[in-house]
Amino acid sequence: PAGDGQNLVTEDVTVVEGEVATISCRVKNSDDSVIQLLNPNRQTIYFRDFRPLKDSRFQLVNFSNSELRVSLTNVSISDEGRYFCQLYTDPPQEIYTTITVLVPPRNLVIDIEKETAVEGEEIELNCTAMASRPATTIRWFKGNKELTGKSEVERWSDMYTVTSQLLLKVGREDDGVPVICLVDHPAVKDLQTQRYLEVMYKPQVRVSQNYPLQGLTREGEPLELTCTAFGKPQPTDMRWLRVDDEMPQHVVVSGSNLLISNLNKTDNGTYRCEASNAVGKSHADYMLFVY
């Protein structure tokens, strides 16, 4: 600082664009000297309680022998820089305060390469935080688990646009799970956006024995099996077959059920339920042994 600022005190100011910055020039030991405030071009904003500068965004908040406090409303990036507090002693004293303007990201967008993915596929997601300052930090979450993306920063004059790329290998358990893009930035709290994953997967097939509920499959008794299948899309095609052999004549198949009303030894073997959808085909087996 020119001369010596030891009798002057001030603080740096950080403010979000559009809000109010308050600059305070204080004198530790007042001797009734004049205090004035200058802008970064060294034009006088206030001289005592008088404002030579024709900018009504500057207003006097407090004026005394020991303090000149000034507010600047509707702050923009062009207001950034060093402002000088001066004390008219002999020699004059001067210190500066720096105004820093933060700009929150204009918006946050997630872009998914495919609306619908198939299990096992790797998809690319991009999250873009437009025009902020300083540059934002982007974080990714799948459900509540944090993932690691790869960020790229582009600078446009005073602003930074950040894009983060996430490569995600999806499984059936990811269907309907939100992927969240969250911004860390000093000008904004809790800014996030999310997209729900849609994952197609082939059927999961299960065969259950309805009758006999417990116990053995005995000769002369009935057997009833049910096949259930879930998938995305929901399987439309379900069929029963006997592995490595013809289906016995007396087996009744109705939809997902298989019924043998009178078991005999020739029914021994493996019965398979197959289900398919657009993604693929799966099956489940039931091994029958007649006692």
Count of Cβ atoms closer than 10 Å to residue 83 Cβ: 23
> Are residues 11 and 59 located together in one domain of the fold?
yes
The total number of structural domains that make up the chain: 3
- Token pair 């001030």 is found at 10
> Are residues 227 and 190 located together in one domain of the fold?
no
> Of 197, 221, 251, which one is at a domain's C-terminal end?
197
In a domain, 1, yes or no: no
In a domain, 251, yes or no: yes
Give the pLDDT score at 5: 58
Q: Which domain holds residue 159?
A: 107-197
> Of 180, 197, 214, which one is at a domain's C-terminal end?
197
Count of Cβ atoms closer than 10 Å to residue 164 Cβ: 23
In a domain, 239, yes or no: yes
Q: Report d(CA 38, CA 18) in Å as an integer.
A: 21
- Please name the amino acid found at residue 189: K
> Of 50, 82, 102, which one is at a domain's C-terminal end?
102
In a domain, 210, yes or no: yes
Find out whether 153 and 235 touch, Cβ atoms under 8 Å: no
Count the helix, strand and coil residues of the chain and give each as a percent rounded to the nearest 5. Answer: 5, 60, 40
Q: Report d(CA 225, CA 259) in Å as an integer.
A: 7
> Are residues 55 and 142 located together in one domain of the fold?
no
In a domain, 2, yes or no: no
**pTM of the full predicted structure?**
0.79
Four-CA torsion 174, 175, 176, 182, nearest 10 degrees: 40
Give the pLDDT score at 215: 79
CATH of the domain at 245: 2.60.40.10
Four-CA torsion 255, 257, 260, 261, nearest 10 degrees: -100
In a domain, 216, yes or no: yes
> Are residues 160 and 75 located together in one domain of the fold?
no
In a domain, 77, yes or no: yes
- Token pair 């205090």 is found at 35
Cα torsion 172, 173, 177, 181: sign: negative
- Please list the pLDDT of the chain residue by residue as tens digits (291 residues): 444 557 999 999 999 999 999 999 999 988 889 999 999 999 999 999 999 999 999 999 999 999 999 999 999 999 999 999 999 988 889 999 999 999 999 899 999 998 899 999 999 999 999 999 999 999 999 999 999 999 999 999 889 999 999 999 999 999 999 999 999 999 999 899 999 999 999 999 999 999 998 878 999 999 999 999 999 999 988 999 999 899 999 999 998 999 999 999 999 999 999 999 999 999 999 999 999
> Are residues 232 and 173 located together in one domain of the fold?
no
Q: Which residues of 264-289 are buried (b: 16+ CB within 10 A; e: fewer)?
A: eeebebebbbbbbbebeebbbebebe
> Are residues 163 and 211 located together in one domain of the fold?
no
Give the pLDDT score at 115: 87
In a domain, 129, yes or no: yes
> Are residues 230 and 187 located together in one domain of the fold?
no
> Are residues 173 and 207 located together in one domain of the fold?
no
Q: What angle do CA 161, 167, 169 make, to 5 degrees?
A: 155
> Are residues 206 and 233 located together in one domain of the fold?
yes
> Are residues 76 and 19 located together in one domain of the fold?
yes
Give the pLDDT score at 2: 43
> Are residues 89 and 111 located together in one domain of the fold?
no
Give the pLDDT score at 4: 54
C-alpha radius of gyration, the chain, whole number: 37
Both tokens assigned to 226 = 């049910």
Four-CA torsion 17, 22, 25, 30, nearest 10 degrees: 180
> Are residues 14 and 64 located together in one domain of the fold?
yes
